[in-house]
C-alpha cells in the first residue's frame, strides 16, 4: 500500500491523528487518554491501526526496550464484582487494578508493567 500524505487525509482521519499525537506526547495510556477526552477506545485503536497502515502514524519509541514475556496465569475463581485486584509481575512491579476496568485497558497496563525493568 502506498503511503498517504497527511494533507490527503479526510477531516475525520486528521482528527484521530491529532489525538494519537497528543496521546503519545502526554505519556498516558491510550485507554486513559480516550476516556479523558470522551473518545471510544475501540474506535481509537481501530483508527490507530488504520492510520498506521496508511503510513501516516507510527508508535513513538518508548523509554523501555525490554521484550515482554508472558506468564501463565491460573485464576481459580473471581467474584463477579470486586473492588480491586493486585497483581505482582515477574519483574517485581505490582499492579493494583480497580474494579470496572475493560479488557483493552487492562492488556495495555499489563504490557507496560511487564516492560518495566
Q: How far is CA 50 from the centre of its chain?
A: 15
Is residue 59 a part of any domain in this protein?
no
Domain count, the chain: 2
| DSSP structure class, residue 78 | -
pLDDT at 65: 41
- pLDDT of 117 reads 64
C-alpha cell at 49: 491501526
47 and 68, same domain (yes or no): no
> What gap in Å lies between CA 82 and CA 79, rounded to an integer?
6
Question: What is residue 105's predicted lDDT score, i.e. its pLDDT?
Answer: 73
Domain shared by 102 and 70, yes or no:
yes
Radius of gyration of the chain from its Cα atoms, rounded to whole angstroms: 17
- pTM for the predicted model, two decimal places: 0.54
Is 41 a member of any domain?
yes
What does DSSP assign to residue 94?
E
Check residue 72 and give its pLDDT.
60
Domain assignment of residue 23, given as a range: 6-54
**Successive 10-residue mean pLDDT values, the chain, 117 residues:** 75 94 89 92 92 87 52 58 72 73 71 73
Amino acid at each position: 500500500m502506498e503511503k498517504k500524505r497527511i494533507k490527503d487525509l479526510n477531516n475525520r482521519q486528521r482528527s484521530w491523528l491529532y489525538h494519537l499525537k497528543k496521546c503519545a506526547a502526554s505519556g498516558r495510556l491510550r485507554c486513559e487518554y480516550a476516556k479523558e477526552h470522551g473518545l471510544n477506545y475501540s474506535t481509537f485503536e481501530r483508527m490507530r491501526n488504520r492510520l498506521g497502515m496508511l503510513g501516516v502514524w507510527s508508535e513513538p519509541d518508548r523509554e523501555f526496550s525490554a521484550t515482554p514475556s508472558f506468564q501463565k496465569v491460573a485464576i481459580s475463581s473471581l467474584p463477579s464484582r470486586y473492588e480491586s485486584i493486585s497483581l505482582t509481575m515477574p519483574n517485581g512491579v505490582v499492579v493494583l487494578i480497580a474494579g470496572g476496568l475493560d479488557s483493552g485497558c487492562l492488556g495495555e497496563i499489563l504490557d507496560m508493567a511487564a516492560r518495566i525493568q
